Amino acid sequence: MRRPAARRRLRTRPRPPAALLVPAAVAVLFLAMPLVGIAARAPWSRLPHYLSDAAVLEALRLSLVCSLSALALALVLGVPLAWMLARVPHSAAKTAVHALVLLPMVLPPTVGGVALLSAFGRRGVLGPLLEHFGVVLPFSTAGAVLAATFVALPFVVITMEAAFATVDPTVHEAAATAGASTWRTFRSVTLPIVADTLVAAAVLAWCRALGEFGATLTFAGNLPGTTQTLPLKVYLLLTDDPDGATVIAGRRCPCFHAPRGARGHASCARAG
């Protein structure tokens, strides 16, 4: 009779300290107030007008194309990198790769756009070589996809590395003993184990790509129908039609990222 009681006690979750409740409630309120503000100020009666606007629909279409393409690239490149980082022992090279992975998360988005221009622009490090093969990334849809991938990739790598590190090594050893190749073990054993985390990483990366603003504006510009995604359209509407910007922002993904450093790029946005 004592053992079930002990198990029930172990399953009971400890109550959080009272000292943590106040800052936790403030954090929830802080995160909720911007959404409440949008919901309260948006002229919802004009919603059908804005949603039927051709420019808004084109920006939405372009946002979905760029964010989903960036998600695909982030998964194809990020999952293998995360698996390698989780498997290799700690070294100076691993630390350097970790720093590179974190770099897009700590850089201001506009600085990331300048870095992309320095690498893939026509006068960048790889730009002339790409142009030789007829590939021009700045101020193109492909450039917008590249900018979104740059900021979304770290979310896949960091999340999946933590998931791969928790997989029991004996699972891989058992698969190798059964004659499975490394690729088959990864595909049939490892990925199913971390499938839930993979979905979470994909959602995080997609939301970050969908809300990208600064790097896209700096590297790909703000060309309607080519690189003008929904965040850029919202920023333009803040100048010309604030009510429209509020309505469109309220209808976007809840993971909408506010434009960081937008004021410094007002002239670029208007020029687009």
pLDDT tens by residue, 247-272: 555 544 433 333 333 333 333 333 33
Report if residue 193 sits inside a domain: yes
Q: Shortest CA distance to 197 belongs to which of 242, 161, 244? A: 161
pLDDT tier, 207 (very low <50, low <70, confident <90, very high otherwise)? very high
Looking at residue 242, its pLDDT comes to 57
Report if residue 49 sits inside a domain: no
Rounded percentage of the chain residues whose pLDDT exceeds 90: 45
Q: What is the pTM of this model?
A: 0.77
Q: Are 138 and 121 in contact (CB under 8 A)?
A: yes
Question: Containing domain of residue 111, as a range?
Answer: 54-271
| Positive or negative torsion for Cα 122, 156, 216, 142 | positive
CATH of residue 119: 1.10.3720.10
Looking at residue 5, its pLDDT comes to 54
pLDDT for 114-169, tens place per residue? 999 999 998 889 989 998 888 999 999 999 999 999 999 999 999 999 999 998 88
State the Cα–Cα distance between residues 245 and 222, nearest whole angstrom: 16
pLDDT for 39-50, tens place per residue? 777 766 766 766
Looking at residue 246, its pLDDT comes to 57
Report if residue 29 sits inside a domain: no
**Does residue 177 surpass a pLDDT of 60?**
yes
Report if residue 11 sits inside a domain: no
